[in-house]
Amino acid sequence: MKRIFGIAILATLFACNQADKKSTEIKDSIQEDSSSTSINIKIKDEKKSQILNQYVELKNALVGSDSAIAQKSAIALEKSLANYEGCEPTAEIAAKIASSVDLVMQRKNFTVLSADVIALFKNTEIESGTLYVQHCPMANKGDGGDWLSTKKEIRNPYYGNAMLECGRVVEEIVKK
């Protein structure tokens, strides 16, 4: 009886240690994705390149569920979009994200922002690299949501670490 009890305790301790390890792995992968601001996409238009960098920073902040960093990233993105002809309405959406501390509202507005940004980059001259249009079918109460990523690996900005890998690549934007 003592042996069975001892084995049960060891099994429980081992399982708890594995759960902690798995949690750390997820955090590390979020941090890796979030801190990775060097983008391996080369875009001919410098203004669009800046917009992409700022958009990816915003997306990564939402992946990490960090509303404060999302606000800061959205402020920078708003300025860049406002200075790009035709993107003024999209800048207003970025401003909504920047003015909110509510992660749910930031993510809701990110859906609309992403649709505009994806459209912008579908008509962009990419010199090298690939942009990935990714989709989460569960975002926005089941209506789904798209986002743009510089990596094929799914890192869901709509649910963060709660559903980090929920989604799929629906399109690749490549050099034309």
Indicate whether 8 pLDDT > 90: no
Tokens 């920078």: give the residue.
76
3-state secondary structure of 56: helix
36 confidence band (pLDDT: 50, 70, 90): very low
23 confidence band (pLDDT: 50, 70, 90): very low
Q: What is the DSSP letter of 146?
A: E
14 confidence band (pLDDT: 50, 70, 90): very low
Q: If you average pLDDT over every residue of the chain, what do you get?
A: 83
pLDDT of 175: 85
pLDDT of 38: 53
| pLDDT tens readout for residues 142-170 | 899 999 999 999 999 999 889 999 999 99
Which residues share a beta bridge with 133?
148, 171
3-state secondary structure of 131: strand
The structural domains of the chain, with segments of one domain joined by +, span 44-174
End-to-end CA distance of the chain: 70
| pLDDT tens readout for residues 66-77 | 999 999 999 999
Q: How many CB atoms lie within 10 A of CB 137?
A: 12
Say how far apart CA 76 and CA 55 lie, in whole Å: 9
